Structure 1
C-alpha cells in the first residue's frame, strides 16, 4: 500500500515539475527565440539534407514502422490459406467432384478475428502509451506476439485458429497505433511523409514473405503447407525486441511527462549535431506542448470529441476508414481474387507474388510523390485513379468471359493494388500522424485505427461474400461496389481533408483553432511568433 502511495506522490511531483518547467516557455524570451530558430531551421531544411543529418531518426522510425510487418504477414497468410488446396480439403466443404472451399462464414471469421483483437489492442495502446511511453508499449506488444503465435501454430481446428488470430490481433493494435505517432514525432519536418510512409512498405514486405512462403508450400499435400508459414511469424518479434530496447523514447512524450533532461538526450541521439541545435529543438517541442497544455489537462478519450479536436478526430477516422473502401480489400485477398477471376491456382499464387513485389516498388515510389506533391494532391489523385480502374474492372467482368477477360481482370487487380500502394496507402499514414494534436496523438491514432477496424470487419465479410463460390460469386464485378465506395471517399477528402505539408505541429494547432476551411490551409500564413 505504501509503495503505491509513494508512486502516486512521485507522479504528482513529476507532473507539478512539468507544469512549472513548461509555464516558463512562453514568457522566457531566450527559450522562445530558440523555439523560433528551431522551427525556422526545420522549414528551411531540404529532404535530402534532413536525411543526411538525421540518419538515426530515420533508422528508429523505420524500425518502429517495421513492427506492422507482423499484422501484414498474418492477415495475408489467412487470405492465402483459403486458396491452399490441402487446407480447403481438411477444413472446407466439397463444392464439386474435385473441388473444396472454406465456407464463407469461416472465411470471414479467419479474416476478421485478428482485426477484432486489434480493435481491442488500439484502445489499450493509447492509455498504456500515455503511461509508459512508445518504447515500452511496443516491447510489451512484441512479448505478447511471441506468446500468442503458439496458439495459431498448434491449432487443430478452425475454431482454435480463429481464437489464436484474435489474440494475436491485440499486439497488432499496439503496433499500428504507435508506429506512425512515434515516427512522426522523432523525425524533422521534411522527413515526416517519407518516414511514416514506410508503414505501407512494411505492410508490403509482410505480404511478399507470405506470398513467397505460400507459393513454396502450395504444392505440399499435408498440414505443413500452412503450419510452416505460421511458424515463420516467429522470425520477427525477438530480433525487434532486442533492437527496440535500445531505441530512444520520443522527446515529445518525455517533455509531456516533465523529463526534460531525458528529452534532450533523445534529441541528441536522433541526430542533433550541436548543443545549440539540440536546445533549439527542445525549445520548439516545449513551446508546442505548452500551447496545447493550455487547451486542457491530462488527455482522455473524451477530449477527442471536444472543441477543434473533434474535427481532427473525424478527419483521422475518415482517412483510416477510407483504406477499406478504395479497392484495398482486393489486394488483401489477391490470390483468392485471381482464382475467382479464372486464373489457375498455381498461377494465382505466382501472380500474387508479383503483385506484392510491385506494391513494394510502389511504396518506394511514394517517397518521391510525398516529397514533390502535397498530401491532398496525392490522396485525391490516387483515389480518383483507382475509382476509374475499379469501374473498368467491373465492366471487364460483365462482358462474356474468355481467357483474355480473365487475365484482364487479374491485371486490373494488380494495377489497383499498385496505385493504392504508391498513393493512398502510404499518404494516409502521413495525414493521420500530422492531423492529431501532440497532446492527444497516442489516443487519436488509436481511435482512428479503430475506425479502420470497425469498417474493415463488415467489409471483409462483404468481400468474402462477393468473391466466394458459395456466396455471390461476383469475381471482378465487385469493382462496381468498390468503385462506388471509393468515389464517396474521394468526395469526402475533397471537401474535408486539409493540407498540412510544410506545417509544424504548432502551425497545425493554430490552423485548426482558427477553424480554417480545409481548402484554405495551404494559403493561410502563420507567423513564427504566434502562440495562440
Structure 2
C-alpha cells in the first residue's frame, strides 16, 4: 500500500515537473506567442503541406470508427434480410416474416450498451496509458469479440455478441476525435475531426455493398459472411496504430517533454523547423490549465466553467440522434416500409451510403472555411424542414409517387446530415473541452449519446416496424420536432469555435463569454487568464 502511494506521488510529480516555471520564462513565452500567431496565420493548404503525417495519423485513428459503423448498419439491415427473417422472425402474413420489435431493438441497442461501458473506461485508461495504447487494446478486444457474433446461433447470443463488440467501440469513439484534434494545427482541427464522419459513411457503404451482395441468399451465410468481414479492419489497423505517434499534448501533461518533441517532429514534414516553438505553445496551455485543477478527475467535468463545456459536448453528441440519423441507421428497413421492394431497398441504401461519403468529402473544406455554429444551425434547420415534409408526404393518400417521394426525402435527409450535422458535431466535440479533461470529456459526451440513443432506437423501431406502430414516413413528425428543439438549444447556447486556439477557448470559457459573443471577442496573444 505504501509502495502504491509512493508511485502515485511520483506520477503526480512527473506530470507537473515541467509546468511550474513556463509562465515565468520570457523566452518560452516568446516562442509560444510565435507558434500561436503562426497557427492563426496558416492557411488550409499550407497546414496540410506542413503537417502531412499529422493528417494521416488523425485519419487513421478516426478510421477505427469504421468498425462501429459497419456493425451498427449491419444490425440495421438484418431485419430486412429475407434469410434472417425466416430464421429468426415470426410470420405476419402468408409467406411474409418479420423480426419481433423487441428483438429488433435489442440487436440494435446491445452494441450501444456495450459502448456505453467502453466510453466510461476510455477516459481513465487513456489518461493513464495514452491514446495509442488504449486504441491498441481496443483493437485486440475487437478481434476477439467478433467470434461471439459470428458463431451465434440464436437471437439472445447475437445480442450478447453485439454487447461485447460495443465495449471497444466505446474506446474508439471516445479517443478518435480527441486524438485527431490534438495532433493537427488549428486550421485543420475541424477537418481532421470531420473525417470521423467519413469513416462512419465508409462503414455504412461497405455494409450496404456486402448486404446487397448476399441479400439473395436464403441460408445463414447471408448474415454470417458480412459479420466475418469485420475481421478485415482490426489487424492492419493494429499494426499501424502501434506505429503511430502519441499525442504530444498527452505526453506534455505526463511530463515527458523529450518524447513530446519527438512526436511533434514526426507529425510535421521534414521542412518544418518550428518544433520547439510548438512545444512551448503546448506547455503554456497545459500549465494554464494545470493551475485550474491538476490531475484530471471525472468530477472535474461538472465543476466551474468545465460544466458548461461538458454540457455542450453532451448536447452535441446527443443531438446526433434527433435530426434524422436514426432513419439513416435503418435506411434499408425504412425504404422497405416506405413501399420499396426488398431488392430495390438494398440498392437504394447502397446509393444512399455512397452519397453520404460524397457529402463527407465535400464537408472537409466547408468545415475549414465556415463557422461550426453556422454549419450546425443551417444543417439542422434544413433537415427539420425535410423531416416535416416527409411526415406530410406519408400522411396523404399513398401511391407509387408518394412512396418514391418518401424514399427520396430519406436520402436527402441522410445526405445533409452526412455533410453538415455529422462531421461538424465531431469538430465541436473535439474542440469544446479543455485539453486537461479532453479524454474524460469526449467519453462523457459519447455516454450522453448512448443514453439518448438506446431509448430512441426502441422508439425508432416501433415507429417503423409493422409489428409495432407501423408509422413509416410519419416518423418525420417526431424527428422533425426533436430537430427543431436541437436548433433552438444550439442557437442560444452553442458558441463559435472556429479560428480559436485551445488557450483562447480556455480564456473565453473562463470569462463566461456568451455563446453568440465568442466570434467577436478579442483575445490578446499574451493573455494567460
- TM bucket (normalised to shorter chain) is over 0.9
Is 2:391–2:476's contact at 8 Å kept on the other side of the alignment?
yes
1:395-449 per-position Cα deviation (integer Å, ceiling 9, x unaligned)? 1000000000000000000000000000000000000000000000000000000
State the distance in 2 between where 1:81 and 1:358 align.
22
**Alignment counterpart, residue 440 of structure 1, candidates 428, 434, 437:** 437
SS at match of 1:439: coil
Structure 2 residue ranges without an equivalent (≥5): none
Is 1:39–1:284's contact at 8 Å kept on the other side of the alignment?
yes
Residue 492 (1) aligns with residue 486 (2): no
Is 1:15–1:258's contact at 8 Å kept on the other side of the alignment?
no
**Alignment counterpart, residue 234 of structure 2, candidates 232, 237, 246:** 237
State the distance in 2 between where 1:12 and 1:191 align.
37
| Equivalent position of 1:122 in the other structure | 119
**Alignment counterpart, residue 479 of structure 1, candidates 476, 480, 485:** 476
| Equivalent position of 1:335 in the other structure | 332
SS at match of 1:94: strand
State the distance in 2 between where 1:330 and 1:245 align.
36
Q: TM-score, normalised by structure 2?
A: 0.99
| Equivalent position of 2:167 in the other structure | 170
Aligned 1:111-510 pairs, distance under 5 A: 111-271=108-268, 273=270, 277-510=274-507
| Equivalent position of 2:16 in the other structure | 19
SS at match of 1:288: helix
Is 1:264–1:279's contact at 8 Å kept on the other side of the alignment?
yes
Structure 1 residue ranges without an equivalent (≥5): none
SS at match of 1:231: helix
Is 1:180–1:433's contact at 8 Å kept on the other side of the alignment?
yes
- Tell me which moved more, 264-273 or 500-509: 264-273
Is 2:17–2:255's contact at 8 Å kept on the other side of the alignment?
no
State the distance in 1 between where 2:40 and 2:272 align.
20
| Equivalent position of 2:104 in the other structure | 107
1:369-393 per-position Cα deviation (integer Å, ceiling 9, x unaligned)? 1122100000000000001100110
Instruction: State the superposition RMSD in angstroms.
Output: 1.1
Is 1:272–1:278's contact at 8 Å kept on the other side of the alignment?
no
Question: Post-superposition shift, 1:17?
Answer: 4.0
1:177-208 per-position Cα deviation (integer Å, ceiling 9, x unaligned)? 00000000000000001111000000000001
State the distance in 2 between where 1:118 and 1:20 align.
35
1:48-100 per-position Cα deviation (integer Å, ceiling 9, x unaligned)? 10001100000000000000000000000011011001101110100000100
SS at match of 1:23: coil
Question: Post-superposition shift, 1:221?
Answer: 1.0
| Equivalent position of 2:64 in the other structure | 67
The number of residues matched between the two structures is: 529
State the distance in 2 between where 1:295 and 1:275 align.
32
SS at match of 1:242: helix
SS at match of 1:299: coil
**Alignment counterpart, residue 28 of structure 2, candidates 18, 26, 31:** 31
1:482-532 per-position Cα deviation (integer Å, ceiling 9, x unaligned)? 000000000000000000100000000000000000000000000000000
Q: TM-score, normalised by structure 1?
A: 0.98
SS at match of 2:17: helix
State the distance in 1 between where 2:225 and 2:10 align.
52
State the distance in 2 between where 1:127 and 1:98 align.
52
1:201-233 per-position Cα deviation (integer Å, ceiling 9, x unaligned)? 000000011000000000001000000000000
Is 1:355–1:418's contact at 8 Å kept on the other side of the alignment?
yes
CA distance change for structure 1 residues 259 and 392 in 2, over 3 Å: closer, same or farther? same
State the distance in 1 between where 2:511 and 2:255 align.
28
| Equivalent position of 1:514 in the other structure | 511
Is 1:14–1:258's contact at 8 Å kept on the other side of the alignment?
no
